Chains A and B, each alone.
Chain A
Amino acid sequence: MGTRVEGRRDVVVVGGGPAGMAAAARAAELGLDVLMVDEGERLGGILPQCIHPGFGVHYLREELTGPEFAQRLASRVEDAGVDVLLEAHVPEVRWISHAEKGVRVLSPGFSGEVRAGAVIYAAGARERHRFEIGILGDRVAGVYTAGEAQTMMDVYGILPGRRVLVVGSGDVGMIVARRFALEGAEVVGVVEIMPYPGGLTRNVVQCLEDFDIPLLLSHRVVSVRGRGRVEKAVLMRVDEGLRDIPGTETEVECDTVVVSAGLVPRVEVLRELGALIDPATGGPVVNDRLETTVPGVFAAGNALVINDLVDHAAEQGEQAAEGAAEFLRRGGIPATDWVRLRPGEGVKLTVPQLLSGERDVWIYLRVNRPVRNARLSLRGAGREVRLPVVRPAEMVRVKLMAGEVRRAKVGGREVVAEVYRG
């Protein structure tokens, strides 16, 4: 419609969720010519369906619901003069040269290639489905991912079922369980394979305990049964090694099974482009400008690493925009002798994976088990941080000083993040 698509852009941002909107707004505020493309009919990514409060406490210093947070960023995108193309899919990003990439765009109004000096990839994540977590049995109606259930209920106003079993106790699973309970459905339980809840404690309190929803730890759903529609789910207990304990099958009557089993970064386009993917995060390997291993292509938000706070996704968008601006200004991010940041004892993943030592850097890491009175050691950088508690559900974010990174350059050229008790 009004949006100019053709021609060369300084920056093309792929994805109009929180990371993409923050990236596009920041890049335009830095004086760059920016096109942002998104698959949806409206901006916001998954925010419009996340109607609960708790967004923006850090990034906007105000507690908002998801739709309100999206609205704030969308206004900023508009004020900054970003061109936005909606209902547009990006199947490919093509390498033309160090200084130029081709972004293939398919949309009702425009199909073709847009040339860009830099690309910020913020296409988010997809939800894991029932078969990825081993829920076998009948292929019946009534099995939804958490995002599908949220969209039905909170965008289209349709209650997906009346007797609901939620699989997975991450924040999204617990929040969806509360929404079902509030709307008058019976939530027969939230099933969690681990021996502890997957999400934040505040959500155990205000989503499950407030509504007397049972949490079944160390259990998993092995199958779904029914004719045409879900009639029951079969549960089993698991041992410490997450193996099924024979003879512990129980059947739970329900008409709906909601799978909230985590997210997987959408990186197919980046992989095709030749970007190195980190098996620990599922996202691309990036340096401290959030540039992937393909020069001029940056990543942010859930396409980079699965975030639990929208604030972090938006912050990464801004960092990627600043990286893209530097890339355009200097004709590339100068390849220095990078220091590798990697996970060690007790740590599942770390981002960014490559540190320059030229600048202070926010590092994000996730632990692989809960620890009270934790000591986080960034070995090689000579840095220790004490934390009252760390949990797999809560990303740890620490600022590492340039000087600390440079210390590792004389040693093993790496910083290893380790978490210990006490």
Chain B
Amino acid sequence: MTGRGKVRRLTCIVCPLGCEIEVRLDRGPGGDVRVLEVRGATCPRGREWAAQEVTDPRRVVITVVPVRGGDPPTVSVKTDRPIPKSRIPEFMRALAGLEVEAPVRVGQVLAKDVLDLANVVATRESRSMGRSFGERP
């Protein structure tokens, strides 16, 4: 890669191929990072991701949320959009107290606009048990 600016090498995380991507960037007059060129990505999503990664890295966050009276007793969740990497610990603490009622279906929004960053959406279902946990049928 030639030309002005600084080069950052990244391993793409968009898909399992893991392309080695080079991004040439410099700083604008206001100190903001500007992407001059992206090379090595084999798809448009990879090019977009690399440009995003050097300017404002973000991740979709995944975790589980307890479900009262649910079988299974949790649902897996994801954020409906990637959030800034640096705010993941704060985001996880904000979710720590969240608990929902059974039943939960896939795609259900369990918390809206958490820290004004993203909605939290269920990715697995949990049915009502119809009896309290530990009780024998």
| A residues adjacent to B (C-beta < 8 A) | 48, 51-54, 57, 63-68, 71, 153-157, 182-184, 200-202, 204-206, 210, 308-309, 394
Contact = CB atoms under 8 A, between A and B. Distances in A.
A53 B11 contact: no
Given A53-B78, A182-B88, A182-B92, A200 B16 contact: yes
A210 B85 CA distance: 8
A53 B16 contact: no
A183 B60 CA distance: 15
B123 A65 contact: yes
* Contact-residue bracket for chain B: 20 to 34
Nearest to B19: A388
Contact of A210 (B14, B59, B66, B73): B59
Given A48-B124, A68-B123, A155 B106 contact: no
A421 B15 CA distance: 25
A308 B18 CA distance: 14
Contacts, number: 80
A182 B18 contact: no
B106 A71 contact: yes
B69 to A, nearest CB: 13
Contact of B11 (A54, A202, A394): A202
B119 interface: no
Contact of A201 (B18, B62, B66): B18
A206 B66 contact: no
Contact of B66 (A54, A157, A183): A157
A67 B106 contact: yes
- Considering residues B12, B62, B63, B78, which has the most beta carbons from chain A within 10 angstroms of its beta carbon? B62
Contact of B62 (A52, A204, A205, A394): A52
Given A51-B124, A67-B124, A155 B74 contact: yes
Contacts of B66: 157
